Amino acid sequence: EIVFFSNANHFLQSLSTGEHITKLTNLKRLTIGAYGLTELHPDFVNLKNLEYLDISSNCFQSLPEIITPENFPNLRSLVLNANGRHTVYDLSNDIRENLGGFIEDDLRTDKGMETFKRLLKWENLDTLRLSVNYFEGELPDLKDDPDFEKWTAEEIAACDTLPEILIGMPKVLVNTEFFAINHNRMYGLLPDWLLYHPKLDWWAPFVLFFPQEGKATDNTRAGFLNEPENLDYYYKHYVNKELSPTKSKN
């Protein structure tokens, strides 16, 4: 394990990781935080033994293309939060460039949506942290997306904690125990794959998912239109879950 964390104003920088770190091919855990990174060296793919990667608090405009499950088959934790170079509440009223925060991965564009779905398809991740960035637009509903398998009636019948409402819904990050995307600039409707996700209650959604802030570049106020008041609707389906309010605490 190696940890680099800046204690200076490196958020003003625009740096690459360089090639030297990529020689350490036995690394399992790597943190490079607050260093003004805007790109990963192409040879970063040599770090195939990585299980944990934290490149938070840097200045990435877009998710590096080399960060894929194919390039990092052993990766379990991907931490990408707080990559804004500047704090901007209203993106529609700011003329600065190079804001960081993955602002180029706009979900209203084909490129941005494909980048975001690349993360949602990463089955081996147990941790995905995207909080406090500038992702903007609507979450994909994925209902008719052929790249995502669907829950089957056989799978639901074989597990006493999965409800029938999942049948036909896309499987998204089914092995992910921690998923955070709060304080971005997302809006629109929360999709069913999220509202009825088997891990939703573990994700603490009222803290780490539902809260958004500010305005997107198209002047749309961030925030989801169908944010639930509580998870009562959820536990009506997940009646056998440990956290269900209908289950005895004794």
What whole-number distance in Å separates Cα of residue 53 and Cα of residue 141? 28
Mean pLDDT of all residues in 133-157: 97
Res. 12 pLDDT band, cuts 50 70 90: confident
Q: Using H for helix, E for strand and C for coil, what is the string for the chain?
A: CEEEECCCCHHHCCEECCCHHHHCCCCCEEEEECCCEEECCHHHHHCCCCCEEECCCCCCCCCCCCCCCCCCCCCCEEECCCCECCCCCEHHHCCCCCCECCCCCCCCCHHHHHHHHHHHCCCCCCEEECCCCCCEECCCCCCCCCCCCECCHHHHHCCCCCCHHHCCCECCCCCCCEEECCCCEEEECCCHHHHCCCCHHHHCHHHHCCCCCCECCCCCECEECCCCCCCHHHHHHCCCCCCCCCCCCC
Res. 245 pLDDT band, cuts 50 70 90: low
Whether 243 shows a pLDDT value over 80: the answer reads no
Q: CB neighbours of 66 closer than 8 A, spacing ≥ 6?
A: 40, 42, 44, 45
For residue 248, what pLDDT is reported? Answer: 46
For residue 9, what pLDDT is reported? Answer: 73
Tens of pLDDT along 93-141? Answer: 998 989 999 999 999 999 999 999 999 999 999 999 999 999 999 999 9
Whether 247 shows a pLDDT value over 90: the answer reads no
Mean pLDDT of all residues in 73-88: 95
Whether 38 shows a pLDDT value over 80: the answer reads yes
Tens of pLDDT along 164-184? Answer: 999 999 999 999 999 999 999
Percent of the chain's residues with pLDDT above 70: 96
Tens of pLDDT along 25-35? Answer: 999 999 999 99
Mean pLDDT of all residues in 236-248: 71
Percent of the chain's residues with pLDDT above 90: 89
For residue 249, what pLDDT is reported? Answer: 46
For residue 240, what pLDDT is reported? Answer: 85
Whether 91 shows a pLDDT value over 80: the answer reads yes
Higher pLDDT, 246 or 232: 232
For residue 242, what pLDDT is reported? Answer: 66
